[in-house]
Amino acid sequence: MSETTRYETDWLTIPDLVELLDEPLGRVRRLIDEHYLVGSRREGVFKVPAVFVMDGRPLSSLRGTIIVLHDAGFDPDETIDWLLTPEDTIGVAPIEALRAGRKSEVRRVAATLA
């Protein structure tokens, strides 16, 4: 998979998330631990794709999708890559479909990956 095909997004560090979500550090860490957000080390720093946040909150449909992918054996890097890479059966990157309210369709496809 080439980098150029991926959905373009900025990356947020934990301090960025504390500021953007207006939540204390412990709460931001819990959001990650409880799969409301997923991140991984990029250039040595833990980061979360900015596209996973909408209107100052974690995208509401993201948690269930992360859990489905986790149950399918995806690690955080693979989860992020799948969400940001255009999926033929969906027609766009899964994160784009989630942001457009197409949660059921995305989860249906994610569930077939196990």
**pLDDT-derived band at 6, boundaries 50, 70, 90:** confident
Is-contact 11 50, C-beta < 8 A? Answer: yes
- pLDDT single digits (tens) 24-68: 999 999 999 999 999 999 889 999 999 999 999 999 999 999 999
- pLDDT single digits (tens) 72-83: 999 999 999 999
Q: Which residue's entry shows tokens 């412990």?
A: 26
> Of the candidates 75, 57, 77, 73, which has an alpha carbon nearest to the alpha carbon of residue 114?
73
Tell me how far apart the alpha carbons of residues 42 and 25 are, in angstroms, rounded to a whole number: 19
Residue 1 has pLDDT above 60, yes or no: no
